[in-house]
Amino acid sequence: IYAIQNKMPYAEVKNAAGHFVKPSIESVTAALATAEIPDDFRFSMTNAPGRDAYPIAGATWLLVYEQQKDPVKGKKLVEFLKWALTKGEAMAKNLDYAPLPENVQQRVLKRIDEIKM
């Protein structure tokens, strides 16, 4: 969470359920838990429903060519993405990021397997 990482002041924000919620790993995770995530992974968590959901949570995406031109670089990219979603995910909380739920991780890993060299 940017404000926490940078020791900036922040406030509780009123969410869709009418509760005032602080930004935290738990409140961002609560927002993500209610997100409807389509197959192309384009979604919004803004003003997510739920008593504990932080209303201005967001996600980060990567745009990756499905067909990689350079097989060596493509292989390294796939290795990195798989690491980031598995072993690298263990670092998320220590860096003040909300980890992805297991079901989302598995869906993204399946999409990574579609990358061709």
pLDDT given for residue 102 in this prediction:
87
Q: Are residues 81 and 110 in the same domain?
A: yes
Residue 89 identity: E
pLDDT given for residue 3 in this prediction:
81
Q: Are residues 7 and 40 in the same domain?
A: yes
Using the predicted structure, report yes or no on whether residue 104 has a pLDDT greater than 80.
Answer: yes
How far apart, in whole angstroms, are the C-alpha atoms of residue 100 and residue 70?
Answer: 29
Structural contact between residues 5 and 24, judged by C-beta atoms closer than 8 angstroms: no
Using the predicted structure, report yes or no on whether residue 40 has a pLDDT greater than 80.
Answer: yes
42-62 tens-digit pLDDT: 999 899 999 999 999 988 889
The pLDDT-based confidence of 12 (bands split at 50, 70, 90) is very high
Q: Are residues 66 and 86 in the same domain?
A: yes
Number of domains in the chain: 2
Using the predicted structure, report yes or no on whether residue 68 has a pLDDT greater than 80.
Answer: yes
Domain interval for residue 37: 1-59
How many C-beta atoms lie closer than 10 Å to residue 98's C-beta? 22
Q: Are residues 3 and 22 in the same domain?
A: yes
Summarize the confidence of residues 95-115 as an average pLDDT.
92
- Residue 86's SS3 state is coil
Using the predicted structure, report yes or no on whether residue 1 has a pLDDT greater than 80.
Answer: no
The pLDDT-based confidence of 93 (bands split at 50, 70, 90) is confident
Residue 7 identity: K
Summarize the confidence of residues 66-71 as an average pLDDT.
96
CA distances (Å), origin 26, targets 4, 35, 58, 79: 13, 15, 13, 29
84 burial via Cβ count (<10 Å: 0-12, 13-18, 19+): middle
Q: Closest Cα partner for 29 from 101, 104, 110, 115?
A: 101
Q: Are residues 80 and 44 in the same domain?
A: no
